[in-house]
Structure 1
Amino acid sequence: MKPTLMRPVGLPLSASTPVVTPLMPSVVYASETPDALDAQYEGRVKGYTYAREGHPNADVLAQRIDALEGCTGGIVTGSGMAAVTAALLGLCKSGDHVVGGDQLYGRSLRMMKDDLPRLGIATTLADPTDVAAFAAAFRPETKLALVEVVSNPTLRIADLAGIAELCKAKGVLLVVDNTFTTPVAVKPFEWGADVVIHSVTKLLAGHSDVTLGWVAANTPELTKQLYDFIVTTGMTPSPFDCWLAERGMMSFGLRFAHAQQTARKLADHLAGQKGVKRVLYPTRDDHPDRARAQSVLRGVGGNMLSFELDGGREQANAFAAAAKGIAFAPTLGDVGTTLSHPASSSHRALGAEGRAKLGITEGFFRVSVGLEETEALMATFDDGLRAAGAVK
């Protein structure tokens, strides 16, 4: 009996095509000859070699996000922080200087304060809502600026136009993390960004069952720098996660619209409740950056809001425990509403003094609104407020 070689024979031929993207977990891909492999590596033909260097499910997902952001060449990474790291370390070297917004995501702040300086890259944090303060942080060796359009967790709106103009004038790369806002609210490349980042884990995938990031640049040269760093450092996304995220993106627009509508109503509801010191939502008249929210976000408020209780940690504990059915978890963008307490999670490393400078108290919560019925969600928050108010 002739032995059978253990080699893939390819997909069966079919006159029809699958409606759903096939899941393709293969780690390696076979080429016919060394010449054929050369043609792939030299870019004369498109093909896959080793999954760390790219695979079909990642490319399909990247193209879907590219279409939302109005760009090409986006790269999917193993996490949102992998995308941030690729931008910072893939585009900077020892001796460079980076300016970052002072209210970045907690791990982005840690990278700015601890990791980049350890590698010889100096950093400065500045207020992105004040372009003059941001400009004052620049140095002759400044290579890159990193901002979030809407800050985490106080929902301040960056002066995106002013910062983009500043970076262009100074020859500084502008990197924008668009995770909170999503392309529904703003497309940073249209404002002059050089690099855009997403934590796909959040709103784009939307189901808290994948961990992925995405990064794209506005020139082939920057794209190659990012790609080479991502491949070399092994920031490989899982094909299965990419497949799940693509599925999640099919409902992204519907999910965003429903969650935003509920978030607006919940913000207004909370603002009128006893025991609530303040509410932050971009389209409310009392938001400190409302005018900028109208111009930058085009009136899109999004699904995120923050509020501050009267009181401290004891009231916060009581609220979280009584708001039954609301997941107390440091994440956002899920189909269910999640409640985050920055002082004990994302911004704990700043210490009490550092948090106080940003207005983050022990009674401060960030809310990622999901797909629940609005009235039921309001009732649950009322339960939490009653419990917090009962604490003496």
Structure 2
Amino acid sequence: MSKDHKTLIRPEGLPGSASWPVVTPIMPSVVYASETPDALDAQYEGRVEGYTYAREGHPNAEVLARRIDALEGEDGGLVLGSGMAAVTAVMLGILKAGDHVVGGDQLYGRSLRLMTQDLPRMGITTTLADPCDAAAIAAAIRPETRMILVEVVSNPTLRVADMEGIARVAREKGVLLVVDNTFTTPRAYRPFDHGADIVIHSVTKLLAGHSDVTLGYAVARDAGLQKAIYDFAVTTGMTPSPFDCWLAERGLATFDLRFDRAEQNAARLADHLGTLAGVKRVLYPMRGDHPDAARARAVLGNRGCNMLSFELHGGREAANAFAAAAEGIAFAPTLGDVGTTLSHPASSSHRALTPEARAAIGISEGFFRVSVGLEDSDALADVFSRAVAAAETA
């Protein structure tokens, strides 16, 4: 740079170096400069690669997307501002008024709201059906059905979908199969290996793993569908934060280790809860008493994931006593942290449902979901034993 430019606020370029950073730099720039209008045209027309405006893509998002692409076995994925941004971009980027969607009847609460309240306002009709029964999904298909949305393991009741049967229905009917793989992650299940057309993640959860980012991810096997998702996300400003992308990339470096340790803890905690008199039932996919135990083995192999749910004897009073006595366990509507967190669906994720609607899917006032973390498993067992005892005396 010449001395004539020493007073410029934005001098061109970065210091030269024969070496390079080991860690991906955080690149928060909103805008990227081009040499000429012709050079900018070349970028927009795809003749050269480059960045223009962060809403259309930035380096930290692309680095993170490529890391998740590798886990899911696909290319061209998109990182968005949240998990629900990913769900919304897939739905509204692809669907149009007059289309019909079939969704699992135990989707995440906000996904259920999108299905039952928001999509119908836009002329997109929806039907909810039991994902554990492929015949129920097939029966819900109409001539105008364009898409099926399911979670491999449901939130929060941990039912295991009949993924083989649903994939067969989608293939036979010519309907897109969209899989929310947040709970299972590609460590336990890779949807594209089993017939999925689109995969969604809330990166906020297990992939990032530290409760300090809010991000989503969506990838379609078909390039045209991926372009539609991208265009909608860019138009509506679902831009992810470069800093959050950087944090999530850092989290991915330990993802396998975190997942395996948390999964081991979850299996041990589930078995321990099953021995406590104050616990009415325990839901963990690898337990023999799980309602979908055989299917869980077929779908997940030996991967039980880090999530478990259980139900206390008693109602809200017992739930309050349990949460208050669970010392050191964060009572918070989240999952996937390095520490164990406790969630009460009736007062958080599924509070918008009527008590009758919650009861229909097995959620009572004494029902809790646990995202098991990396603590010592014996210490976790002690905390939960004391909390269950407190609930019994409530």
Q: For 1:125, which of 119, 125, 128 is the aligned residue?
A: 128
Aligned position for 2:80 = 77
State how far apart, in whole Å, the 1-side matches of 2:149 and 2:14 are.
44
Matched, 1:236 2:239: yes
Aligned position for 2:311 = 308
| Superposition RMSD in Å | 0.9
Stretches of structure 2 lacking an aligned partner (at least 5 in a row): none
SS of the residue 2:187 aligns to: helix
Q: Can you list the C-alpha shifts for 1:15-47, whole angstroms capped at 9, x where unaligned?
A: 111110000000000001111111101111110
Q: Give the TM-score taking structure 2 as reference length.
A: 0.98
Amino acid paired to 2:381: M
Amino acid paired to 2:113: R
Q: CA deviation at 1:5?
A: 2.8
Matched, 1:374 2:390: no
Amino acid paired to 1:206: G
Matches within 5 A, 1:55-66: 55-66=58-69
Matches within 5 A, 1:331-346: 331-346=334-349
Q: For 1:140, which of 140, 143, 165 is the aligned residue?
A: 143
Q: Can you list the C-alpha shifts for 1:316-362, whole angstroms capped at 9, x where unaligned?
A: 00000000110000100001100000011001111100000001010
SS of the residue 1:227 aligns to: helix
- Give the 3 Å change call, closer, same or farther, for CA 8–274 of structure 1 in structure 2: farther
State how far apart, in whole Å, the 2-side matches of 1:65 and 1:330 are.
24
Aligned position for 1:208 = 211
Matched, 1:183 2:186: yes
SS of the residue 1:349 aligns to: coil
Q: CA deviation at 1:288?
A: 1.0
State how far apart, in whole Å, the 2-side matches of 1:10 and 1:67 are.
31
State how far apart, in whole Å, the 1-side matches of 2:244 and 2:19 are.
26
Amino acid paired to 1:373: D
State how far apart, in whole Å, the 1-side matches of 2:232 and 2:73 are.
23
Aligned position for 2:45 = 42
State how far apart, in whole Å, the 2-side matches of 1:376 and 1:9 are.
55
SS of the residue 1:307 aligns to: strand
Q: Can you list the C-alpha shifts for 1:78-125, whole angstroms capped at 9, x where unaligned?
A: 000000000111110001000000000000000001000011100000
Matched, 1:89 2:87: no
State how far apart, in whole Å, the 1-side matches of 2:134 and 2:306 are.
26
Q: For 1:15, which of 14, 18, 21 is the aligned residue?
A: 18
Where does structure 1 differ by over 3 angstroms across 4 or more consecutive aligned residues?
none
Amino acid paired to 1:36: A
SS of the residue 2:206 aligns to: coil
Q: CA deviation at 1:2?
A: 4.6
Matched, 1:351 2:351: no
State how far apart, in whole Å, the 1-side matches of 2:162 and 2:204 are.
26
Stretches of structure 1 lacking an aligned partner (at least 5 in a row): none
State how far apart, in whole Å, the 2-side matches of 1:97 and 1:323 are.
44
Identity %: 74
Q: For 1:33, which of 32, 36, 39 is the aligned residue?
A: 36
SS of the residue 2:370 aligns to: strand
Amino acid paired to 1:268: D
SS of the residue 2:172 aligns to: helix
Aligned position for 1:195 = 198
SS of the residue 1:125 aligns to: strand
Q: Can you list the C-alpha shifts for 1:102-149, whole angstroms capped at 9, x where unaligned?
A: 000000000001000011100000000001111111100001110000
